[in-house]
Amino acid sequence: MEQEKEMDELDGVAYNALQDLAQQLAWASIEPSSAGFKIRRVPEHLRTENVKAYEPQIITIGPLCHYLLFKKTHLAEMQNHKVLYLKKLLQRRGEDLSHSLQRRGEQIRILLQHRAEDLSNLTRYVVTMRRVEERAASCYAEPKEMSIDSFVEMLLLDACFIVELFRKFKLDLWDDDIVFRTSWVRKKLGRDLLLAENQLPLFVLQELYEITKMPEDQETNFQDLILGFFSKVLPVQLLEVPIIGPFAKTKHLLGFICDYYWKWAPGFLPPPYNENWNFIISATNLNEAGIKFERIESGSLLSIVFDKDVGILKIPTLKIDDDTESFFRNITVYEQFFPFYAYAPFINYLKFMDCLISTAKDVQFLCENKLLHNCLGDDEVVAKIFNRLGDSVALPLYNFYGDIFHNVNEYFDRHWNRWIANLRHNYFNTPWAIISVFAALFLLILTLTQTLFSVLAYF
């Protein structure tokens, strides 16, 4: 009897486990083509390197950071500005601030069957966001922890704020905006809008922009608005080049900026180099070996060239300020979820800069050659930033600068260059060392001269 009872209990446990697994399998989603590009939380092994680099400082966007509104007062205050931007949009378009819904349920279903352009006032925007709600939710790697109503409201307020912010930059409409008239607020907004967790699907922004177009918007596409804003607030230079390629495949603003650099800026990367990763020595050591450094006046940040015939390494200037580390860390998170065989241009670039910068002395050298613009002031701090940016980051399969690494190392390994580098490093590394060497040479010459005269006197 006891054995039969145990079997019954075991069958019950097995049945419950079977039910639980069946439910998990039903909810599981396999999307190999797009899973890596979903909006997701920063992996813990990357977050612990610098927690603050991944957290918003002034505004939250999307569901992943929505919980911060209840924890940080300064972020909650920005919600009022989102509502204000929506109100000003409605007023500018001459639309009613109220809604036309008297009851929910059946009327909402009827409204959803209408085209957005056939509706008016606030209802039009809410209905549009309700239509894209399911698709927007699928762009996130984890289920949303909020009701559909709250999610739709968040989509509308966040999308409206971003679109109106970009419009203000384009049309220079800051007279009635006391808060955002200050440059530091705009810069912090640019920083927060490129955080990996602080994202809305790009198609939601595009959708809202299309249904809120004014006559002055007719000759401007949404891509131009994005570039117009970030070209003023990013620590890295954006090129003014036409966008080539499918815009619709880009998932969010962070992905747009990354794609813009390595897909739409023509001719900025050398051919992929798929041999084992091979690194170079620091900038000061390369300089001691006779390699010269020059600034590239115009071009993508990722455009690095080495002229192996004359030994000149050409690099675009990079500005280092309070937000540079956050920008690179978040774009690195985005690239970490690329397929292993895909290109990761920014991870490649950061590894290249990490090779050049070993100590504060390298930072000072690069600043003197106009290759770095150190707004932080402390060379040691900048060196530590670049030495840490690659921690816990997996290198991609392809090394885009592998050809440059190979040519630089080949140039350095020439016997004459290596001998010159050793001489400079060991005997001419400080003014006192140089004086000592020349003093020793002077004494040697005097000794030889005295010996020579002694020999001549003998004869």
Residue 429: per-residue pLDDT: 54
DSSP helix/strand/coil, 320: strand
Residue 416: per-residue pLDDT: 53
Residue 32: per-residue pLDDT: 47
155, 129 contact by CB (below 8 A): yes
Nearest to 141 by CA among 337, 326, 290: 337
Indicate whether this model's pTM tops 0.85. Answer: no
Give the pLDDT of the chain (459 residues) as one tens digit per residue: 555 555 555 566 566 776 777 777 776 655 544 445 789 999 999 999 999 999 999 999 999 998 888 888 888 888 888 998 998 888 888 876 665 444 444 444 444 444 544 445 788 899 999 999 999 999 999 888 889 999 999 999 999 999 999 998 888 776 677 667 777 888 899 999 999 999 999 999 999 999 998 887 777 888 888 988 998 888 777 655 555 455 556 689 999 988 887 765 444 455 555 556 678 999 998 988 889 999 988 677 888 889 988 899 999 999 999 999 999 999 999 999 877 667 788 998 999 999 999 999 999 999 999 999 999 989 999 999 999 999 999 888 878 888 889 899 888 887 454 555 455 555 555 665 556 655 666 666 767 666 666 666 665
Structure tokens at 140: 């996130």
Whether the CA torsion 31, 37, 42, 46 is positive or negative: it is positive
Residue 102: per-residue pLDDT: 45
Structure tokens at 418: 């290596």
DSSP helix/strand/coil, 230: helix
- As a whole number of angstroms, the distance between CA 156 and CA 144 comes to 16
Structure tokens at 137: 């939710």
Count of beta carbons in the 10 Å neighbourhood of residue 342: 12
- As a whole number of angstroms, the distance between CA 78 and CA 193 comes to 14
What residues form DSSP beta bridges with 294? 314
- As a whole number of angstroms, the distance between CA 57 and CA 72 comes to 10
- Name every residue whose Cβ is closer than 8 Å to that of residue 272 and which is 6 or more positions away in sequence: 343, 398, 399, 400, 402
Write the DSSP string, 171-213: HT--TT-TTTTSHHHHHHHHHHTT-TTS---HHHHHHHHHHT-
Compute the chain's Rg from CA coordinates: 30
Residue 108: per-residue pLDDT: 44
Q: What angle do CA 322, 44, 384 make, to 5 degrees?
A: 35
Task: Give the relative orientation of helices 345-356 and 324-336 as an angle to the nearest 10 degrees.
Answer: 130
Residue 4: per-residue pLDDT: 54
> CA dihedral in degrees (297, 314, 319, 353; nearest 10)?
160
